Structure 1
Amino acid sequence: MNHDLTPRPLNPAPQAPLITWPNGAKSAVFIGFDVDAETAWIGNNPSNVDRMVTTSHGGYDARVGIAKILELMDELALKATFFTPGWTALAHRNACERILRAGHEIGHHGYLHKMPDRDRLDETFEEVDRGFEALQQALGVRPVGYRAPSGENFPELLAYLAKSGIRYSSSFRDDIRPYRHACSNGSPGPVEIPVNFAFDDWNFGMSSRSSPRPLFGHNAVLSLWIDEFEATHAWGGVTTLVLHPQVSGRPMRWHVLRDFLRHVQAKGDVWIATGQEISDHFEKVERQLIAQ
């Protein structure tokens, strides 16, 4: 493939509109979990399927992590969005059914957590289709939200997601407010609920023999999250969390997340919502702006 390096904005989406949050809230918080399970370790490196200690990182999700995260959400009376690869839903159906029974949103996160690749469009689209099919088969749901496995996207995939009924994405890192994607053919794409990389727990709490890096303790992570949230709150944006049960479902990191969410709740003027709720609100605001 020839790559077009012409100077231009590489994301053609229009600027995010100024948005008023519901119930007089000054900002929003989107609690999103990526229920990768073993797919985090085998999707982009299939040879790991025969490395049981390596994949046991992901096995923690169904054995411990999902249940502990659901306990936390119940304790704080919060609803979250669980972006779930189709493979995870089929392999760990009982654990994923508990997410659904607790009233949380299920989002699309590919089938085997393969990174989308513009040079392999057929494979990328198959990942989307198989993800839908597996979530329907295992859980009886067809998600409206999508988080890109390994956090990658490109124009053809955005258009395919929109065509497939995806109403919102939560992968891009280029704003603090939701905005509407623009497809290359001129049609509107999904709503984007952008991510702040500082709120990806994998950066601070996951290390392995194959990817060794430092781990960060309670005070380091909590102070970073609080400072970043407070600044985003002051700017009226959305704080989007990219969490993983195999990280934040671990004992100490569970307490980091609980302490952070308690801090957010104590503010009193924050709207904590699922991805679908935020997308619904954005679309309502969008219709009002168009009508003016």
Structure 2
Amino acid sequence: MRFIFCFILSLLSVTAFSQEVRYFSERFQTQRSVKTGFERRYFLEANKVRTEDYEYDTLKQKSFITGTTSLDEADDYLWYVRVQADYLVEPYFSNLKARVHTFTKAGQPSSDIIANGTRVLYAQLWNSDNIPYLVKGTGNSNYWNKDSTENSRYFYKDSLLVSAFTYRPAQKDFVFIKLDQRAEPKTGIQAFVQKLASTIPYPENELYADVQATIYIQFTVDDKGHLGEFKALNSSYDGFNKVVLQKLEASTAWNPALVNGRRVKSRYTIPVSFQIMDEPVKPAKKKPRR
């Protein structure tokens, strides 16, 4: 038996049917092979994929993606529309369009988003009192997190998100969300990923127990490129988290994120998948004839 692990850079591929259900990690970032509380249902309609996202049986998002009948392409595009990160852009995005409606836990509208290729427009957004706050596509909003330690602020103009950042009163700093250029290792993300993947050992306890998992490590990259504030987002996988955190904490400085040409602090999340695979059986060597 041998073991491998890799960074999740794309979703798993399966055959599309007229209707299908897939399960995901939190926020619908990565497809999972087992049932989770995050379920996406698919409906094929000619040159369109309609999806419904449920979080623990509560409908949170309805989407209509035109220009494809591939569920994988639909998944990739919906994740791009959500985070709008340049490194996620695929060539086929230029052929895709989407209308995305999100809802609150109470079933009230939360956002109405229109995407055409890589251009994402916010048709309307609603606050917690179900009152729309964009006037002709312009407005702003702010949200406190659950423990009131962070206040995230978003600014929209002409239906575009033009600025977004999080203010942290205790640290008296800002963590930027809307970036002109994201933080990146000095050697490039691909080289960084390959080096990290080649040096992280598979934890022995998890290997012997035949445990596999995808974990997520979140950290900040400050305006000087230093990595810090590491946080494992999957608390139930301590063994996996420990070996990844040890390597990440020893990382050298990155190139920091940029906003309007200025270096800023930002957050980064890296998913790492640990998988156990059977070693292929090698054919027996034939004895030489005499």
Shared fold, TM over 0.5: no
TM-score bracket, shorter-length normalisation: under 0.3
**Greater C-alpha Rg:** 2
TM-score computed with the length of structure 1 as normaliser = 0.27
TM-score computed with the length of structure 2 as normaliser = 0.27
Instruction: Answer 1 or 2: higher relative contact order, Cα 8 Å, separation at least 6.
Output: 1
- Whichever structure has more strand as a proportion of its residues is 2
